Each structure stands twice: as C-alpha cells, then as structure tokens.
Structure 1
Amino acid sequence: MAATTNDPLAALATHALGFVRDGDVVGLGSGRAAGAFVHALAARVRAGLKVHGVPTSEETARLARELGIDLVGLEADIALTVDGADEVDGKLNLIKGHGGALVRERIVAAASERQVILITSDKLVEVLGGRGPLPVEVLPFAVPFCRRRLEDLGLKPTMRMQEERPFVTDNFNVIFDCAVGPIGDPAGLERAIRAIAGVIDTGLFLGTADRVVVADGDTIRELVRKRR
C-alpha cells in the first residue's frame, strides 16, 4: 500500500502514472478520476515523457489538447486505458456511464491491452446496482419502445436531463438512468438489455478491468483480476 495525499483523486492519478511507459498510447477515460489522471499525465509530458492519448469523450479530448497531450485515433495500438467507475464489485465488474461516455469508454477499453480503473473506496460494493442507477444509452427514435421494454425487465428508466432537455451523448443518443437495485445476475441483465432493439449500450462493464486502484483513507491499494 502507498500513502495518499489529501486529494485522493490526485493520489490515484499519480499512482496510475506508474503503469505508463515512454512511447505508450494511452486510453484517456472520462469523469473526475480520469480527468485527474489526464492532468498528471500532462505534467509528465511537459517533463519529457512521450505518449499519445486516445480520448473516450469530447470533454476529455478538449482537456487533453488544452494540456498539450498529443491525440490519436483507434488505428493505434493502445497499451492501457486509465478510467474511473461508478461501482466496482468483488469480481472487478463495473457500472460506468454516469458521465455519459459509456459507449466510447467501452470501445477504447476493448481496444486496449489493459484497463486500469481508479476509484475511491466508497465506489466498492458487494453487489452492483445498489449504489445508483444503471445507465442505458438508446437511439432517440427508439425511446418509447426502449422505455417499455426496460420496464418489462423490471427496471425503472428515467430520461437523463440537462438544462431541462434530454442529455445528448457524444454519439447523439440519449440515456435512461435505470433504477435496478442489487443485480443478482449482471451478465443475464446485460444480455436482456442488449437484446432490446434500439439499445446502443449499457453501463455494465463485465470482465473489462484488469486492475482497480483504490484510494482508501490515507492509503492506495490495488485489486487485480484473477485470470483463469
């Protein structure tokens, strides 16, 4: 375990820099923890580290450009992606997407050799779903149909709003935040939601994280996925 600073996100970001090597292509996640990592990475770039970034959202892309990180696309081989999560269970399954970037986050993670997740200890849960809603991204055309089908699954979908209008993702879709409660079968629920025509993606990220770095009080600890 390593000691943290008074800012747990800054401590997580600094710790994650240890996974980055000169010349790497790094997936840049979205959200507060990922934003802290982008700031920390940019400081290393200014000190001479040579890396390229692949952003998971337009917001992250803007931040990285402002801070001087060179950006590339998915044609590059991504060594690792550093991102955050909203919930993490004991098997390192995740709920993501409260920032609205779940589709691109999944694509960049899938294109990466490794995914490192940065969280504070309050994001650790025994069972996914008990801490907050499950985001589901859907095509605007399919909103009424998807709402009914999500309700048929026992979910309680609420359209995510921004300034009294539906929140629009970087992919020009909308998001239902679904009250789910504790999810007994995450894989089964993911399959059922993905089977709905018009659903683009869900916030369930199962088996994607290789390592979760946790800021827990005044220490940093790592959780590593067990490989079969």
Structure 2
Amino acid sequence: MSAESVTLMKQAVAQAAAQEVKSGMVVGLGTGSTTAFVIQFLGERLKSGELSNIVGIPTSFQASVLAKLYGIPLVTLDDVERIDIAIDGADEVDPDKVLIKGGGAAHTREKIVDGLAEEFLVVVDSSKLVTELGSTFPVPVEVLPLALSPVTRALTNLGGEPVLRMGVKKDGPVITDQGNMVIDVKFATIHDPAELEKTINNIPGVVENGLFVGLATRIFVGELVNDQPVVREIK
C-alpha cells in the first residue's frame, strides 16, 4: 500500500472523528499522525464557525503545538471536571478492542486523558487491526531512568524481550515529556492483556505501559475500497 493511500485513509478517519465533536465539549487531543489530522480538522471547524466553545486537553507536547497552530484553546486537568470525548490513535487494535499504544512515547498522558473521557474514540487505518495483540508491535513501558536496569530484568523475567528505545536523529535514548525512558517489550504471546497490564505497572520504577484494556468505546477504521477511502466503525 502506498504512502499516499495510507494518508488518504488517515484523513478520512480523522474527518469522521472530528465530526463527532460538538460545540461546548471538552476534548482529549491524542498524539500521532492520524490524530494530527483530527486536530487540523477541529481547527478548521472552529475557524468556519461550524463549531464553537470547545477546549482541548493535549496528551503530548506535539498535540499542544498542533492545537495552538490550529486555534484550539487548551486547558489542563486542573481546569475541568469532565472530558466529554477523547480522540486518539493506536498502534494495534485486537478483536476485543484492546489497544497497544505508545509508538509516540506519549502513552502515560494518553492513558490518563483517554481513561477520564466519557467516550474514547480510537482512530486507526486498517493496518493497525490485528488478530493477536503484540503480533506486530511491542508493549512500550515508560520507566524512571534510575530504575532502568531492575525494570529491564523484571520484564525479562516476565518472558519479554526488552529493548531500550533509542532516538532517531538524536544520540541516546528517547526521553518522554515527563523526562523518563521507554523500554519496548516484545512478548511471544499476550494471553491476558489486563493481567499483564497490572503486572507490568506493579514493577517498581514503571510509570505506565502501553496496554489499554477496557478503555476504547468506539473505533473508527479507515480503509480503501476500490481505491477510495471509507470509514467503518467497530462498536
């Protein structure tokens, strides 16, 4: 599939998701290439007057920069009592709507915002759908730098293959918005995502991991049918 086709799918699914936002809503703004289009389309709806009085809660520095660029007012969790809808991408989606997120190293803030939202709408292209969780993407684990070695050993003892995520066009490891490091852990199989999520988070020094269990309420999937982008919903 060409890069242009993937972009068309992402734009179609982002457009559909942006239409789900109504005036007056508090919106969790996700991180990643598909959600970047959502933020763009929300900004365009605001500018045209089709949408009014919305505020966004960004899940990353990237989301914050894009929201400001497209004129979406931002607030923090201290400023609101509710989040009406969060829109975010995923690196994998299994048939039970369990997600792996964290390809952009923003999964800690994403899980906080997405978990607080009344509705969590996931936007993906069809390449992100998997029959078995962890088959194409490792589980990202955010870890305090001082605990890197013991956490790595603990993840190995769980049967994982942990690798410290290194920067691209940057010497050294990836550093999250919280100042921590990310270990990507490949598991041969993930039989019980909910149990694994809890077990990893109970390792001292782990901040959060990229397994999102029981959080997604709706999933919009962008697909190509006869070379035309279409969006279907997994409920």
Relative to the length of structure 2, the TM-score reads: 0.91
SS of the residue corresponding to residue 182 of structure 1 reads coil
The separation in 2 between residues aligned to 1:43 and 1:26, in whole angstroms, is 15
Q: Would you say the 8 A contact 2:121–2:218 is kept in 1?
A: yes
Q: Give the aligned residue type for 2:232.
A: R
SS at match of 1:108: helix
Query: For 1:147-166, what aligned pairs fall within 5 Å after superposition?
Result: 147-162=152-167, 163-166=170-173
Q: Which amino acid aligns with 2:64?
A: A
Preserved CA contact (<8 Å) 2:55 2:74:
yes
**Cα displacement (A) at 1:6:** 7.1
Deviation string, structure 1 residues 45-70 (Cα, Å, up to 9, x no partner):
10112211110001110111011110
The Cα offsets for residues 18-58 of structure 1, whole Å up to 9 and x where unpaired, read as 21111111110000111010011110010112211110001
1:138 partner letter: V
Amino acid at match of 2:23: D
1-side partners of 2:86 and 2:133: how far apart? 22
1:174 is matched with which residue?
181
Q: Is the 8 A contact 2:151 2:205 kept in 1?
A: yes
Q: Does 1:189 align with 2:192?
A: no
CA contact (8 A) 2:100 2:137 kept: no
- Structure 2 Cα separation of the partners of residues 6 and 137 of structure 1: 29
Query: Aligned partners of 2:7, 2:55: CA distance in 1, in Å?
Result: 29
| Runs of 4+ with deviation above 3 angstroms | none
C-alpha separation in 2, matches of 1:22 and 1:133:
37
Give the conservation status (yes or no) of the 8 Å contact 1:136–1:177. yes
1:30-45 equivalences under 5 Å are: 30-45=31-46
Once the two structures are superposed, residues 181-201 of structure 1 have per-residue CA deviations (whole angstroms, 9 ceiling, x without a partner) of 331111121122112100111
Q: 1:105-150 CA deviation, whole Å, 9 max, x = no partner?
A: 0110122110000011111111100011110000001001101101
Distance in 1 of aligned mates of 2:188 and 2:64: 33
Task: Give the alignment's TM-score, normalised by structure 1.
Answer: 0.94
Match of 2:221 in 1: 214
Letter in 2 for 1:122: S
Query: Hey, what does 1:133 align to over in structure 2?
Result: 138
Q: How many residues align?
A: 221
- Maintained 8 Å contact 1:81/1:114: yes
- 1:212–1:193: structure 2 CA closer, same or farther, 3 Å change rule? same
Measure, in 1, the Cα distance between the counterparts of 2:76 and 2:131. Answer: 36
Identity across aligned pairs (percent)? Answer: 41
Q: Which moved more, 1:111-120 or 1:72-81?
A: 72-81
Which of 137, 143, 146 is matched with 2:148 structurally?
143
Moved more, 178-187 or 165-174: 178-187
